[in-house]
Structure 1
């Protein structure tokens, strides 16, 4: 009984295996060349990986900040915990502050210094918060884009000895940490993150 079932299944698998290389191969392309092309990974650099991650973070933060009603910007899950707007502005201040420390650059001319000052978390106006979020991620992107391949291993001091690459990775990890917090805040207030609809 078992053999009667297994034989047709095995015959079908052998037939599929025999057809697969022919279906995958381009006309006149030797099998060895095709396998080598498929094995090559797309080229990637520290810069491109950081920029890809940063673009996703920017889209999610700005989208979530826009989706959250301004009436909930003062909401906090408990006393002594940052509110919605305080979390967003904490991220803004960190983006400007950490990147300027790591890259040795100043925020662009015209950037409101209140966005990255000690009182940044006191900003609660939704339009200002959304604008500041976008600007902070744009500043980070410009700093990453201006960093040459040979600079990523340079030593910097960010909470101790680090490399530029490590410090920027830390900065993006900080953004991810607070994105998770912001998602929980949004869902606690009945707001579905726009990208998960």
Structure 2
């Protein structure tokens, strides 16, 4: 039942993202995406660093993902979507990994972010403009790139709210 809920939640978020992303105005080039993505990776790693080890499995409600699950989900979904919809090669790491320690979690986040960045960078302008089927909808691969970015932001924001609920000041946001 929990797995079905997660699948429906992801599908809902992706559906909204594709529906709202008619064009990609926040990043007009893949070089800009790459720089923004690297910044997001560093920000995510800082968020993980700030959360105490004893709170990695905190969840605000029994139906919510834990902090650790939010981070694993945002990372693995990015790489999984990249592999399945952006012509990604077989990852050299386990997309289904369940990191236990903070060091393992940070290593997994880094691997997923780096995989996504290199997959996106390998796409030609023609491939980015191709319309594909994704989760029962149609969109360009460029829209899928924006969807991945929005999805990460959504789940990282949830993880940050978990920190704040314990009085922990999150790392300062920087967009560039």
Give the TM-score category using the shorter length: 0.7 to 0.9
Give SS of 2:139's match. Answer: strand
What does residue 46 of structure 1 align with?
29
1:93 aligns with 2:69: no
Instruction: Using structure 2 for the length normalisation, give the TM-score.
Output: 0.76
User: Which structure would you say has the larger RCO, counting Cα contacts within 8 Å and 6 or more residues apart?
Assistant: 2
Distance across 1 between alignment mates of 2:112 and 2:153: 14
Question: For residues 5-38 of structure 1, what are the alpha-carbon distances to aligned partners after superposition, in whole Å with 9 as ceiling and x for unaligned?
Answer: xxxxxxxxxxxxxxxxxxxxxxxxxxxxxxxxxx
Cα deviation, residue 75, structure 1: 0.7
User: Larger deviation: 62-71 or 48-57?
Assistant: 48-57
Distance across 2 between alignment mates of 1:133 and 1:195: 19
Distance across 2 between alignment mates of 1:185 and 1:98: 25
What does residue 110 of structure 2 align with?
134
Cα deviation, residue 84, structure 1: 0.7
Distance across 2 between alignment mates of 1:107 and 1:136: 12
* Runs of 4 or more consecutive aligned structure 1 residues displaced over 4 Å after TM superposition: none
Distance across 2 between alignment mates of 1:106 and 1:131: 19
How many residues were matched structurally?
Answer: 146
Distance across 2 between alignment mates of 1:45 and 1:168: 11
Instruction: Using structure 1 for the length normalisation, give the TM-score.
Output: 0.68
Distance across 1 between alignment mates of 2:168 and 2:90: 32
Distance across 2 between alignment mates of 1:173 and 1:70: 27
User: Larger deviation: 91-100 or 145-154?
Assistant: 145-154
What does residue 149 of structure 2 align with?
172
Cα deviation, residue 164, structure 1: 0.6
CA RMSD for the aligned pairs? 1.7
Distance across 1 between alignment mates of 2:133 and 2:100: 32
Cα deviation, residue 151, structure 1: 2.0
What does residue 43 of structure 2 align with?
60
Q: Any conservation in 2 of the 1:107–1:139 contact (CA below 8 Å)?
A: no
Q: Any conservation in 1 of the 2:85–2:141 contact (CA below 8 Å)?
A: yes
Cα deviation, residue 91, structure 1: 1.1
Change (3 A) 1:65 1:107: farther
